[in-house]
């Protein structure tokens, strides 16, 4: 158990699965949470769980792969909490299909969400992260095992692994922790 009282976290993909579990856990440790996802009903359910535990949460409907939505997410978070101490990049998408038959839209969506959005979120929040704060990038075992039928997904997750490792070393001297979960 960690005491995160007074800390704030922003979690993308917070409406279910790993993101939901991380949000609830961080809230149980005392952190104030910005929950980000595209589904209002699911976000409201997570926010309700956190509030019933006595925690504080802000639900933000948004798509981190869309620049206009992305800007609003940052603005709403900072207006509410004034700072971010923990960034959890959990939102991601995968299309199970051979790369040669994937649509342009599927390709762009996957690259924008699994790579570009994570870089933009890190870049947006790194300047305010202080010693002891951190970034958690949620990846996949696909980072390590190229698999036919998910070539692009695996490649985006391999990028995340490399980016996270390099960012870890860049931020080490500042005391900001950068970690990946696969």
Q: Which residues are catalytic?
A: 153
CA–chain centroid gap for 85, Å, is 13
DSSP state of 85: S
162: left (phi over 0), alpha (psi -120 to 50) or beta: alpha
Q: Which SS3 state, helix, strand or coil, does residue 55 take?
A: coil
What is the widest separation between alpha-carbon atoms in the chain? Answer: 50
In our burial notation (b when 16+ CB lie closer than 10 A, e otherwise), range 25-42 reads ebbbebbbbbbbbbeeeb
Find, among 48, 70, 68, the residue nearest to 58 by Cα. 48
CA 26 – CA 168 distance, rounded (Å): 21
Strand bridging mode 32-37 / 8-12? parallel
Angle at 50 between CA 49 and CA 53, to 5 degrees: 90
- The pair of structure tokens assigned to 88 is 């959890």
């Amino acid at each position: 158990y960690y005491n995160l009282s007074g800390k704030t976290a922003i979690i993308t993909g917070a409406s279910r699965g790993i993101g939901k579990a991380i949000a609830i856990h961080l809230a149980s440790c005392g952190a104030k949470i910005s929950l980000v996802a595209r589904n209002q009903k699911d976000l409201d359910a997570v926010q309700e769980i956190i509030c019933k535990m006595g925690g504080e949460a802000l639900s933000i409907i948004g798509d981190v792969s869309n620049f206009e939505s992305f800007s609003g997410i940052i603005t709403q978070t900072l207006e509410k909490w004034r700072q971010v101490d923990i960034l959890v990049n959990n939102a991601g998408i995968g299309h199970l299909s051979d790369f040669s038959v994937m649509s342009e839209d599927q390709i762009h969506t996957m690259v924008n969400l699994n790579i570009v959005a994570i870089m933009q979120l890190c870049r947006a929040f790194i300047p305010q992260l202080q010693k002891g704060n951190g970034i958690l990038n949620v990846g996949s075992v696909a980072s390590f095992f190229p698999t036919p039928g998910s070539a692009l997904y695996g490649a985006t997750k391999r990028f995340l692994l490399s980016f996270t490792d390099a960012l870890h070393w860049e931020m080490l001297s500042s005391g900001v922790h950068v970690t990946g979960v696969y």
